[in-house]
Copies of this chain bind each other. A is one copy, B any other.
């Protein structure tokens, strides 16, 4: 892809994942921007990236940069994305897109006005069998969709000594399990079914109200050592949600970051009038398809057995396990093809800013529902 170079904001866990995927695709990385100039320089050296920008302005002033990946903490997405779009550069932003729906509405409007590619990192869409499932519902193989259930359970915040910036509302937003992992599930199942929930009934739970915050820095998915201070936590360790869909379908989602033994168990299960389907992120290369009048099926990821959407997202033949890292290459491959064309293809299946904005509206509705104990319409 000639003349396309990327810059990456954020050099933590997920920024590193972005860099690996870009490299695998052969896309030049112009440079990275760290949380500080020093940190950026250290990480650039460690990652073998040629340049560390001193600031966002510095980055945006680099004419080599065609597109910017935003992997900074949630609170920074809004100002950074606005600046990136204003600079005329394409953008791939981590989820959640913003801290509030007001922010994301503005970002969506700016993106639309700009005509630039504006993607949100709901990468789980790009497990090939999730693309395949999207194709199945689109072609009517499952019939009318009736019941959509699932969960996203983790255990990395199961102890009161576990710490991450997402725990505190002022850095990660008032929601945690819902916004950090629940929106992945909502986006994924909305993508697969072609339907977004219209109403939500939510219950939030903070089972560990007091946590020990380390006085030093902490990387995501790592455990800190050293001195700590006790902090009162208001964000949700777990959430239980009922959903209503436009077609009369019903849904249930549970999110948890305190379920010991679940390292990242994302599952969905869809009951349709003609057939059912289910998938688990613990075994992402297998899709269960349920029948009433014939044996159930297990589709192992295999381009020769998948519909064109599933096959297009597959990097490997059947019998060669794909994983999390592979979703990013499939995702970025599609985005960069659009960047090369200068516009989003009608067949594109990655999340855009309208999807990212919906997730913010969904989070707002969850907060209101949990506060009022009633069903809330998402708008």
Contacts and interface: CB of A to CB of B under 8 A. Distances in A.
A16 to B, nearest CB: 9
Contacts of A201: 201, 203, 242, 373
Contact of A252 (B240, B286, B304, B318): B240
A256 interface: yes
Given A238-B250, A261-B296, A276-B261, A151 B153 contact: no
Given A23-B23, A201-B242, A375-B373, A207 B296 contact: no
A297 B297 contact: yes
Q: Which interface class (under 10, 10 to 19, 20 to 34, 35 or more) fits A? A: 35 or more
Contact of A240 (B26, B250, B281): B250
- Which one of A154, A297, A373, A375 has the highest number of Cβ atoms from chain B below 10 Å of its Cβ? A297
B285 A285 contact: no
A146 B271 contact: no
Contact of A271 (B256, B287, B294, B375): B256
A28 to B, nearest CB: 10
Interface stretch (A80-88, A109-117, A262-270): A262-270
A304 B324 CA distance: 18
Contact of A238 (B23, B147, B153): B147
Given A155-B276, A316-B324, 10 more contacts: A149-B254, A201-B201, A207-B248, A259-B269, A261-B296, A263-B300, A282-B283, A282-B321, A289-B295, A296-B300
